[in-house]
Chain A
Amino acid sequence: MENADVFLGLQDFLERMRQPTAADFVKSIKSFIVSFSNNAPDPERDSAAVQDFFAQMEMDFRAHPLWAGCSEEELDSAGEGLEKYVMTKLFPRVFASVPDDVKLDDQLYEKMALVQQFIRPENLDIKPTFQNETSWLLAQKELQKINMYKAPRDKLVCILNCCKVINNLLLNASVASNENPPGADEFLPVLIYVTLKANPPQLHSNLLYIQRYRRQSRLVGETAYFFTNMLSVESFISNIDAKSISMDETEFEKNMETARALLSGLSTDLDSQYNQSGQYAGYVHRSESMEPRHQPLNANKDSAQPKSSERKSRAKNIPYGAKDNLSFSKIPSLSDLEDKGATILVNDDKASQVFREYPYLFAHVGDLTLNDVEDLLNNYKQLVFKYVCLSKGLGVAAPSLPVSSSQTEFHQHAETAKKQDHSRAIEPNDEVSNDSNRNDGSLEPNDEASNDTNRKDDGSIKEPLIDLDNLQSLLSQDQAVAPQGGKHEESSQ
């Protein structure tokens, strides 16, 4: 499994690279990176070269006095540090670097944007006991982080965290309903559903990148299993047709048509819509074009004044936004809903089961320990997500958090709140759903992002912060190596 304590080891690795005796390593790393600038991308060859280089360096580390007497863990951390550094540098060169991959990315993205609008958990054999769309948002959120990182391990961790969230939710559901513990029969369908709904851009390229550039000896065991699941999700989604989701052929075609019309209608009308009155006007327009029955909602949504900050919402977010329309139908208002729910709860003798998800609801301050803080925080986040998403679904502005047009943006906003001072750091993330991978921002914003993100949600892995600054200044002459990333990197040194 991915090592949660890798952080300290990486710091240690960077320290070692500063030692005079490490000069040869620094030179090798630099010249290896330089060697890539001379050739056109060739994934097979590049991948083999990187893997060989990592293997060779790891052997050299092992034999070098710098690591004399060190544990396997420390050597492993050194390998991780090397991989993260080298791949962050090579990223602009090797990620989605051939037209075929870019094309497949686009096709997959479009397929998911369409299918996510009408797919139901039943279409994938997800039993009612295990259906929990609200909580699945947490898993979607983990997966959507994948484009915030450049290092293969960090991307892989996003996938693993997504899988862990799903596993935890399935396990909770199985305990609550006295079902057998969940196996792959339960897990894979949910992962497919979550991926469809998350629709992370460039998924195909991300998976290839991990496959090619994650050190092979570390893509084993549980990690390999969950990564394979993600590959199989991609394969399943690419091949989705009427039969594979147990849908009538004509119904499937009709759904795809409707989804297509919705998306294309949006992209043409979008600019004017957004410039005039912000995204809610766009919402109204969309719901009308799709289903007349959404009309009663317009009043509601019009009353929610768009914020100027929302104008930056871009066309690429539409697939998420559009999907949200589906849940709008016939819901009057947030407070009506609340009243209704309260009435149901009062009359429901199984009400206590509902609250099982929130173990701290009846706790007193004295019951809590410091260890509960993480759990509480996770609970809090989950609640906030649910609440804000529900509010958003209704088109009502949530009081204390920015309302946004899509889940993606919503999550980004949540993180933005913590990072107001780092506007530079936010930019690449905001563009996550479009072209962040070709936007070769400096290393720092991404590292800040990895530091700020909520890695510990649901017991998932804590993301190490790597101080590449140190190594970068050591290797300052290699600016020529990454010309595309040059302007940010130079300014940061």
Chain B
Amino acid sequence: MGCSASLPDRSSSGRLVGPNSENGGASDAKNLRVKLVLLGDSGVGKSCIVLRFVRGQFDPTSKVTVGASFLSQTIALQDSTTVKFEIWDTAGQERYAALAPLYYRGAAVAVIVYDITSPESFNKAQYWVKELQKHGSPDIVLALVGNKADLHEKREVPVQDGIEYAEKNGMFFIETSAKTADNINQLFEEIAKRLPRPAISSTQNP
């Protein structure tokens, strides 16, 4: 069911790259190591997006995935730099909202996810955008993601609403489907391109 259903999509331009040395942790200009935090209501498919991204490029049998709350994945860009994303999932239930700052502290990227069939989750996404603008790192890259784009017939948040909101707030916007893998790799590649290169190393301190 859901995000784990279909086979890996290898058509992406993101090439599989071996992970950086585990204990090194150093980013240099060519090999960035980036903390990415996922925010959004529970049930919008945050962890499915990540699993699709990570498993879609790995042979699903080659790696035992122990849950999807933390995953890392390295992609190579055309300018021969690599970006290793360390992806931090957060609990989306309302009662845990106050804990989010612990997770997005020091994050270079925040991906804010909503479900295109749930206006409520779109409102929640806007709440997170405001919160991050106020309390996130000043140079944090923000992405707004409308997930479950395969569910056209149930759509309640028009594409235009997402586009306009993102534009107004200077964010990258994309609609994805973790189920069909649509736009999943594009999302992370686009984020990688938008990373401020020289400043990255300063985001590595926990």
Binding site for B on A (CB under 8 A): 1, 3, 72-73, 76, 124-125, 164, 167-168, 170-171, 178-189, 216-222, 224-226, 228-229, 231-232, 235-236, 239, 243-246
Q: Which of A3, A181, A239 lies in contact with B4, CB distance below 8 A?
A: A181
In contact, A221 and B22 (Cβ under 8 angstroms)? yes
- B64-77: CB near A (< 8 Å → 1, else 0) gives 01111110100000
- B87-100: CB near A (< 8 Å → 1, else 0) gives 01111110110110
Which residues on B sit within 8 Å (CB–CB) of A184? 38, 46-47, 69, 89-92
Distance from A115 Cβ to chain B, minimum over Cβ atoms (Å): 14
A359 to B102 Cα, complex, angstroms: 39
Q: Which of A76, A217, A232 lies in contact with B99, CB distance below 8 A?
A: A232
A216 to B47 Cα, complex, angstroms: 28
Which residues on B sit within 8 Å (CB–CB) of A180? 1-4, 45, 47-48
28 A-B pairs in the complex with CB atoms less than 8 angstroms apart = A72-B23, A125-B42, A167-B66, A167-B69, A171-B67, A180-B4, A180-B45, A181-B3, A181-B48, A181-B68, A182-B47, A182-B69, A184-B46, A185-B43, A185-B91, A185-B92, A186-B67, A216-B205, A216-B206, A217-B23, A217-B25, A221-B86, A225-B69, A232-B99, A235-B98, A236-B96, A239-B98, A246-B95
Binding site for A on B (CB under 8 A): 1-4, 21-25, 38, 42-43, 45-48, 50-51, 65-70, 72, 86, 88-93, 95-96, 98-99, 102-103, 204-206
In contact, B66 and A171 (Cβ under 8 angstroms)? yes
Name the residue of chain A whose CB is nearest to the CB of B44. A185
Which residues on A sit within 8 Å (CB–CB) of B86? 221-222, 225
Which residues on A sit within 8 Å (CB–CB) of B25? 217, 220-221
A137 to B70 Cα, complex, angstroms: 23
With A72-B24, A185-B47 as known contacts, state yes or no: A219 contacts B206, CB within 8 Å: yes
With A125-B93, A239-B98 as known contacts, state yes or no: A182 contacts B23, CB within 8 Å: no
Name the residue of chain B whose CB is nearest to the CB of A125. B93
Question: Of residues B3, B88, B102, B206, which shows the largest number of chain A Cβ atoms within 10 Å of its Cβ?
Answer: B206
A448 to B93 Cα, complex, angstroms: 42
Q: Which of B24, B68, B95, B103 lies in contact with A182, CB distance below 8 A?
A: B68
Q: Which of A76, A183, A243 lies in contact with B69, CB distance below 8 A?
A: A183
In contact, B95 and A125 (Cβ under 8 angstroms)? yes
Which residues on B sit within 8 Å (CB–CB) of A244? 95
Which residues on A sit within 8 Å (CB–CB) of B95? 124-125, 243-246
Q: Which of B38, B99, B206 lies in contact with A220, CB distance below 8 A?
A: B206
Distance from A357 Cβ to chain B, minimum over Cβ atoms (Å): 17
In contact, A187 and B69 (Cβ under 8 angstroms)? yes
Name the residue of chain A whose CB is nearest to the CB of B25. A220
Known: A185-B42, A188-B90. 9 other contacts (CB 8 A): A72-B24, A164-B66, A171-B67, A183-B50, A185-B93, A221-B86, A222-B72, A228-B102, A232-B103
In contact, A220 and B69 (Cβ under 8 angstroms)? no
With A182-B69, A228-B103 as known contacts, state yes or no: A76 contacts B23, CB within 8 Å: yes
